[in-house]
Amino acid sequence: MERIGVIGSGTWGTAVAALLCANGHAVTLWSAIPEEIERIGRTRRHDNLPGVELPDALVCTAELSEAMQEKDLLVMAVPSVFVRSTAGRMRPFCREGQRIVDLAKGIEEDTLFTMSRILEEELPGARIAVLSGPSHAEEVSRGLPTTCVVGAHKKETAEYIQSIFMSPVFRVYTSPDMLGIEVGAALKNVVALAAGIADGLGYGDNTKAALITRGIAEIARLGVAMGGKIQTFSGLSGIGDLIVTCASMHSRNRRAGILIGKGASMEEAMKEVQMVVEGVYSAKAAEKLAKKYNVPMPIVEQVNAVLFEGKPAKEAVGDLMLRDKRIENSDLPWE
Protein backbone atom coordinates (compact mmCIF):
# COMPACT_ATOMS: atom_id res chain seq x y z
CA MET A 1 0.00 0.00 0.00
CA GLU A 2 1.38 3.38 -1.06
CA ARG A 3 0.52 6.80 0.41
CA ILE A 4 -0.81 9.07 -2.33
CA GLY A 5 -1.91 12.71 -2.42
CA VAL A 6 -4.22 13.83 -5.22
CA ILE A 7 -3.93 17.58 -5.80
CA GLY A 8 -7.22 18.76 -7.29
CA SER A 9 -10.76 17.54 -6.73
CA GLY A 10 -12.27 18.08 -10.17
CA THR A 11 -13.95 15.16 -11.87
CA TRP A 12 -10.67 13.63 -13.10
CA GLY A 13 -8.81 14.06 -9.83
CA THR A 14 -11.73 12.61 -7.88
CA ALA A 15 -12.14 9.68 -10.28
CA VAL A 16 -8.42 8.88 -10.04
CA ALA A 17 -8.53 9.16 -6.24
CA ALA A 18 -11.36 6.61 -6.17
CA LEU A 19 -9.46 4.32 -8.55
CA LEU A 20 -6.33 4.44 -6.40
CA CYS A 21 -8.38 3.75 -3.26
CA ALA A 22 -9.89 0.72 -4.98
CA ASN A 23 -6.34 -0.42 -5.76
CA GLY A 24 -5.68 -0.56 -2.02
CA HIS A 25 -3.67 2.64 -1.54
CA ALA A 26 -4.03 5.27 1.19
CA VAL A 27 -5.30 8.32 -0.71
CA THR A 28 -5.79 11.94 0.36
CA LEU A 29 -7.77 14.27 -1.96
CA TRP A 30 -7.12 18.04 -1.79
CA SER A 31 -9.09 21.00 -3.08
CA ALA A 32 -8.29 24.71 -2.98
CA ILE A 33 -11.99 25.31 -2.28
CA PRO A 34 -12.77 24.34 1.35
CA GLU A 35 -16.54 24.21 0.79
CA GLU A 36 -16.15 21.84 -2.16
CA ILE A 37 -13.88 19.37 -0.40
CA GLU A 38 -15.99 19.47 2.77
CA ARG A 39 -19.06 18.55 0.71
CA ILE A 40 -17.24 15.72 -1.07
CA GLY A 41 -15.98 14.35 2.24
CA ARG A 42 -19.38 14.59 3.91
CA THR A 43 -21.57 13.25 1.09
CA ARG A 44 -19.03 10.88 -0.50
CA ARG A 45 -20.21 12.26 -3.84
CA HIS A 46 -18.98 14.65 -6.54
CA ASP A 47 -21.58 16.91 -8.14
CA ASN A 48 -20.29 16.17 -11.67
CA LEU A 49 -20.01 12.39 -11.20
CA PRO A 50 -23.67 11.46 -10.67
CA GLY A 51 -24.37 8.04 -9.21
CA VAL A 52 -20.77 7.48 -8.11
CA GLU A 53 -20.18 6.83 -4.40
CA LEU A 54 -16.66 7.56 -3.23
CA PRO A 55 -14.83 5.11 -0.96
CA ASP A 56 -15.07 5.64 2.80
CA ALA A 57 -11.29 5.29 3.00
CA LEU A 58 -10.72 8.40 0.85
CA VAL A 59 -9.43 11.25 3.05
CA CYS A 60 -10.53 14.75 1.99
CA THR A 61 -8.69 17.90 3.02
CA ALA A 62 -8.32 21.59 2.28
CA GLU A 63 -4.83 21.58 3.84
CA LEU A 64 -2.16 21.24 1.16
CA SER A 65 0.45 20.11 3.68
CA GLU A 66 -1.77 17.19 4.74
CA ALA A 67 -2.19 16.10 1.12
CA MET A 68 1.54 16.27 0.40
CA GLN A 69 3.62 15.39 3.43
CA GLU A 70 4.95 11.84 3.78
CA LYS A 71 3.44 10.78 0.46
CA ASP A 72 5.04 8.21 -1.84
CA LEU A 73 3.34 9.75 -4.89
CA LEU A 74 1.58 13.01 -5.69
CA VAL A 75 -1.00 13.20 -8.48
CA MET A 76 -1.32 16.66 -10.04
CA ALA A 77 -4.95 16.94 -11.15
CA VAL A 78 -5.72 20.68 -11.30
CA PRO A 79 -6.66 22.26 -14.66
CA SER A 80 -3.68 23.29 -16.77
CA VAL A 81 -4.26 27.02 -16.19
CA PHE A 82 -3.74 26.47 -12.45
CA VAL A 83 -0.71 24.16 -12.61
CA ARG A 84 1.92 26.87 -12.15
CA SER A 85 0.17 28.68 -9.32
CA THR A 86 -0.64 25.43 -7.52
CA ALA A 87 2.92 24.18 -7.93
CA GLY A 88 4.12 27.40 -6.31
CA ARG A 89 1.93 26.68 -3.30
CA MET A 90 3.26 23.11 -3.19
CA ARG A 91 6.93 24.11 -3.09
CA PRO A 92 7.31 24.39 0.72
CA PHE A 93 6.01 20.84 1.20
CA CYS A 94 7.72 19.11 -1.73
CA ARG A 95 10.70 16.99 -0.67
CA GLU A 96 13.73 16.16 -2.82
CA GLY A 97 13.04 13.23 -5.14
CA GLN A 98 9.26 13.43 -4.68
CA ARG A 99 7.45 11.49 -7.41
CA ILE A 100 4.72 13.54 -9.10
CA VAL A 101 2.53 12.37 -11.97
CA ASP A 102 0.71 15.11 -13.87
CA LEU A 103 -2.78 14.59 -15.30
CA ALA A 104 -3.35 18.13 -16.60
CA LYS A 105 -3.41 18.59 -20.38
CA GLY A 106 -2.33 21.89 -21.85
CA ILE A 107 0.36 24.28 -23.04
CA GLU A 108 1.08 27.46 -21.10
CA GLU A 109 0.29 30.35 -23.43
CA ASP A 110 2.96 32.83 -22.33
CA THR A 111 5.94 30.44 -22.08
CA LEU A 112 4.73 27.66 -24.43
CA PHE A 113 5.80 25.21 -21.70
CA THR A 114 4.24 21.78 -21.27
CA MET A 115 2.88 20.96 -17.82
CA SER A 116 5.86 18.76 -16.92
CA ARG A 117 8.25 21.58 -17.77
CA ILE A 118 6.30 23.95 -15.52
CA LEU A 119 6.47 21.43 -12.68
CA GLU A 120 10.19 20.87 -13.21
CA GLU A 121 10.73 24.63 -13.04
CA GLU A 122 8.52 25.23 -10.00
CA LEU A 123 9.46 22.05 -8.10
CA PRO A 124 13.13 21.40 -8.83
CA GLY A 125 14.31 18.09 -7.46
CA ALA A 126 10.96 16.34 -7.96
CA ARG A 127 10.69 13.37 -10.32
CA ILE A 128 7.98 14.31 -12.82
CA ALA A 129 5.89 11.95 -14.95
CA VAL A 130 2.73 12.36 -17.04
CA LEU A 131 -0.35 10.16 -17.47
CA SER A 132 -2.62 10.50 -20.48
CA GLY A 133 -4.91 8.63 -22.83
CA PRO A 134 -8.61 8.18 -23.71
CA SER A 135 -9.96 8.38 -20.19
CA HIS A 136 -13.14 10.27 -19.35
CA ALA A 137 -13.55 10.71 -15.62
CA GLU A 138 -17.22 9.75 -15.85
CA GLU A 139 -16.30 6.28 -17.12
CA VAL A 140 -13.23 5.68 -14.95
CA SER A 141 -15.26 6.55 -11.84
CA ARG A 142 -17.78 3.84 -12.82
CA GLY A 143 -15.09 1.21 -13.28
CA LEU A 144 -15.39 0.94 -17.06
CA PRO A 145 -12.30 -0.54 -18.81
CA THR A 146 -9.81 2.19 -19.68
CA THR A 147 -6.25 2.28 -21.01
CA CYS A 148 -3.65 5.05 -20.58
CA VAL A 149 0.08 5.64 -20.99
CA VAL A 150 2.52 7.00 -18.41
CA GLY A 151 5.61 8.86 -19.61
CA ALA A 152 8.73 9.68 -17.60
CA HIS A 153 12.41 10.42 -18.11
CA LYS A 154 13.42 7.32 -16.17
CA LYS A 155 12.06 3.84 -16.84
CA GLU A 156 11.84 3.01 -13.13
CA THR A 157 9.66 6.08 -12.48
CA ALA A 158 7.23 5.12 -15.24
CA GLU A 159 7.10 1.50 -14.10
CA TYR A 160 6.49 2.54 -10.48
CA ILE A 161 3.51 4.69 -11.48
CA GLN A 162 2.29 1.95 -13.82
CA SER A 163 2.21 -0.46 -10.89
CA ILE A 164 0.26 2.04 -8.74
CA PHE A 165 -2.48 2.66 -11.32
CA MET A 166 -2.85 -0.79 -12.90
CA SER A 167 -6.07 -2.65 -12.10
CA PRO A 168 -8.49 -5.08 -13.78
CA VAL A 169 -10.30 -2.04 -15.25
CA PHE A 170 -7.39 0.40 -15.74
CA ARG A 171 -4.50 -0.73 -17.92
CA VAL A 172 -1.35 1.40 -18.15
CA TYR A 173 1.48 1.32 -20.69
CA THR A 174 4.83 3.08 -20.29
CA SER A 175 6.73 5.40 -22.63
CA PRO A 176 9.91 7.49 -22.52
CA ASP A 177 8.35 10.16 -24.78
CA MET A 178 6.95 12.61 -22.24
CA LEU A 179 7.00 15.49 -24.71
CA GLY A 180 5.05 13.62 -27.39
CA ILE A 181 2.48 12.47 -24.84
CA GLU A 182 1.94 16.03 -23.61
CA VAL A 183 1.70 17.58 -27.07
CA GLY A 184 -0.91 15.02 -28.11
CA ALA A 185 -2.83 15.48 -24.87
CA ALA A 186 -2.94 19.26 -25.14
CA LEU A 187 -3.63 19.72 -28.82
CA LYS A 188 -6.37 17.12 -29.11
CA ASN A 189 -8.55 19.51 -27.09
CA VAL A 190 -8.23 22.13 -29.83
CA VAL A 191 -9.25 19.64 -32.53
CA ALA A 192 -12.14 18.49 -30.32
CA LEU A 193 -13.42 22.06 -30.30
CA ALA A 194 -13.37 21.95 -34.10
CA ALA A 195 -15.22 18.63 -34.09
CA GLY A 196 -17.84 20.06 -31.77
CA ILE A 197 -18.24 23.16 -33.93
CA ALA A 198 -18.86 20.89 -36.93
CA ASP A 199 -21.50 19.01 -34.94
CA GLY A 200 -23.13 22.28 -33.94
CA LEU A 201 -23.28 23.27 -37.60
CA GLY A 202 -25.13 20.03 -38.35
CA TYR A 203 -22.35 18.34 -40.30
CA GLY A 204 -22.02 14.56 -40.32
CA ASP A 205 -19.71 11.63 -39.73
CA ASN A 206 -17.65 12.38 -42.84
CA THR A 207 -16.73 15.78 -41.45
CA LYS A 208 -15.89 14.35 -38.02
CA ALA A 209 -13.65 11.67 -39.52
CA ALA A 210 -11.87 14.26 -41.65
CA LEU A 211 -11.21 16.50 -38.66
CA ILE A 212 -9.87 13.61 -36.57
CA THR A 213 -7.63 12.35 -39.38
CA ARG A 214 -6.25 15.69 -40.45
CA GLY A 215 -6.14 16.82 -36.84
CA ILE A 216 -3.77 14.05 -35.80
CA ALA A 217 -1.63 14.87 -38.85
CA GLU A 218 -1.29 18.46 -37.60
CA ILE A 219 -0.56 17.37 -34.04
CA ALA A 220 2.05 14.85 -35.14
CA ARG A 221 3.81 17.36 -37.43
CA LEU A 222 4.17 19.82 -34.59
CA GLY A 223 5.04 17.18 -32.00
CA VAL A 224 7.86 15.75 -34.10
CA ALA A 225 9.17 19.25 -34.87
CA MET A 226 9.30 19.90 -31.12
CA GLY A 227 11.20 16.67 -30.46
CA GLY A 228 8.44 14.12 -29.84
CA LYS A 229 8.43 10.68 -31.44
CA ILE A 230 6.12 9.91 -34.37
CA GLN A 231 5.07 6.57 -32.83
CA THR A 232 3.50 8.38 -29.86
CA PHE A 233 0.89 10.06 -32.04
CA SER A 234 -0.49 6.74 -33.27
CA GLY A 235 -0.85 5.62 -29.65
CA LEU A 236 -3.10 6.22 -26.67
CA SER A 237 -2.20 9.87 -26.03
CA GLY A 238 -2.35 10.67 -29.75
CA ILE A 239 -5.07 9.21 -31.93
CA GLY A 240 -6.64 7.36 -28.99
CA ASP A 241 -7.29 10.46 -26.91
CA LEU A 242 -8.24 12.46 -30.00
CA ILE A 243 -10.94 9.97 -31.03
CA VAL A 244 -12.61 9.86 -27.63
CA THR A 245 -12.46 13.63 -27.12
CA CYS A 246 -13.93 14.38 -30.55
CA ALA A 247 -16.66 11.74 -30.36
CA SER A 248 -17.98 11.75 -26.78
CA MET A 249 -20.50 14.00 -25.05
CA HIS A 250 -18.40 13.56 -21.91
CA SER A 251 -15.90 15.85 -23.64
CA ARG A 252 -16.29 19.42 -22.39
CA ASN A 253 -14.28 20.62 -25.41
CA ARG A 254 -16.67 18.98 -27.86
CA ARG A 255 -19.69 20.27 -25.90
CA ALA A 256 -18.32 23.81 -25.97
CA GLY A 257 -17.65 23.46 -29.69
CA ILE A 258 -21.24 22.35 -30.34
CA LEU A 259 -22.53 25.47 -28.62
CA ILE A 260 -20.17 27.67 -30.65
CA GLY A 261 -21.28 25.96 -33.85
CA LYS A 262 -24.85 26.80 -32.92
CA GLY A 263 -23.97 30.46 -32.55
CA ALA A 264 -22.78 30.92 -28.97
CA SER A 265 -19.69 32.99 -28.23
CA MET A 266 -16.65 31.38 -26.68
CA GLU A 267 -17.48 33.00 -23.33
CA GLU A 268 -21.12 31.83 -23.48
CA ALA A 269 -20.06 28.27 -24.32
CA MET A 270 -17.58 28.09 -21.43
CA LYS A 271 -20.22 29.38 -19.02
CA GLU A 272 -22.75 26.80 -20.24
CA VAL A 273 -20.32 23.86 -19.91
CA GLN A 274 -19.55 24.97 -16.32
CA MET A 275 -16.10 23.33 -16.30
CA VAL A 276 -12.69 24.40 -17.55
CA VAL A 277 -12.55 24.01 -21.36
CA GLU A 278 -8.85 23.26 -21.80
CA GLY A 279 -8.90 23.62 -25.59
CA VAL A 280 -9.75 27.32 -25.37
CA TYR A 281 -6.58 27.93 -23.35
CA SER A 282 -4.44 25.66 -25.56
CA ALA A 283 -5.61 27.09 -28.90
CA LYS A 284 -3.52 30.27 -28.78
CA ALA A 285 -0.48 28.37 -27.51
CA ALA A 286 -0.85 25.84 -30.33
CA GLU A 287 -0.96 28.61 -32.94
CA LYS A 288 2.15 30.23 -31.43
CA LEU A 289 3.97 26.88 -31.46
CA ALA A 290 2.99 26.34 -35.10
CA LYS A 291 4.56 29.67 -36.03
CA LYS A 292 7.64 29.06 -33.86
CA TYR A 293 8.35 25.70 -35.50
CA ASN A 294 7.08 26.74 -38.95
CA VAL A 295 4.52 23.92 -39.03
CA PRO A 296 1.24 24.35 -40.99
CA MET A 297 -1.77 23.78 -38.71
CA PRO A 298 -4.85 24.99 -40.62
CA ILE A 299 -7.40 23.46 -38.21
CA VAL A 300 -5.76 25.16 -35.23
CA GLU A 301 -5.60 28.41 -37.19
CA GLN A 302 -9.32 28.33 -37.99
CA VAL A 303 -10.30 27.41 -34.43
CA ASN A 304 -8.41 30.46 -33.18
CA ALA A 305 -10.15 32.65 -35.76
CA VAL A 306 -13.56 31.44 -34.57
CA LEU A 307 -12.74 31.70 -30.85
CA PHE A 308 -10.91 35.00 -30.74
CA GLU A 309 -11.54 36.90 -33.98
CA GLY A 310 -15.29 36.46 -34.39
CA LYS A 311 -15.03 34.49 -37.62
CA PRO A 312 -18.27 32.65 -38.46
CA ALA A 313 -17.83 28.91 -37.91
CA LYS A 314 -19.33 27.99 -41.29
CA GLU A 315 -16.89 30.30 -43.06
CA ALA A 316 -13.98 28.69 -41.20
CA VAL A 317 -15.02 25.23 -42.41
CA GLY A 318 -15.33 26.56 -45.94
CA ASP A 319 -11.82 27.97 -45.81
CA LEU A 320 -10.50 24.59 -44.67
CA MET A 321 -12.19 22.83 -47.58
CA LEU A 322 -10.97 25.36 -50.16
CA ARG A 323 -7.30 25.34 -49.21
CA ASP A 324 -4.74 24.73 -51.96
CA LYS A 325 -4.62 21.18 -53.33
CA ARG A 326 -2.18 18.97 -51.42
CA ILE A 327 -0.74 15.45 -51.43
CA GLU A 328 -1.82 13.46 -48.39
CA ASN A 329 1.60 12.01 -47.56
CA SER A 330 4.64 13.56 -49.18
CA ASP A 331 6.90 10.72 -47.98
CA LEU A 332 5.25 8.19 -50.28
CA PRO A 333 6.97 7.79 -53.71
CA TRP A 334 5.16 7.72 -57.05
CA GLU A 335 5.91 5.06 -59.64
* Number of helices (H), then strands (E), in the chain: 15, 8
Residue 169: its H or E element? none
Q: Please, where are the H alpha helices in 150-265? A: 155-165, 178-200, 205-226, 241-247, 252-261
Smallest CA-to-CA distance from 233 within 224, 225, 319 is with 224
Smallest CA-to-CA distance from 304 within 213, 203, 187, 217 is with 187
Q: Is 155 a catalytic residue?
A: no
Q: How many CB atoms lie within 10 A of CB 104?
A: 30
Contacts of the segment 31-35: beta carbons below 8 A, 24+ positions apart: 31/60, 31/62, 32/62, 32/78, 32/82, 32/86, 33/9, 33/62, 34/62
Decide: helix, strand or coil at residue 122. Answer: helix
Smallest CA-to-CA distance from 195 within 134, 244, 266 is with 244
Beta bridge partners of 100: 74, 128
Active-site entry in 71, 105, 188, 284: 188
Q: Which residues are catalytic?
A: 188
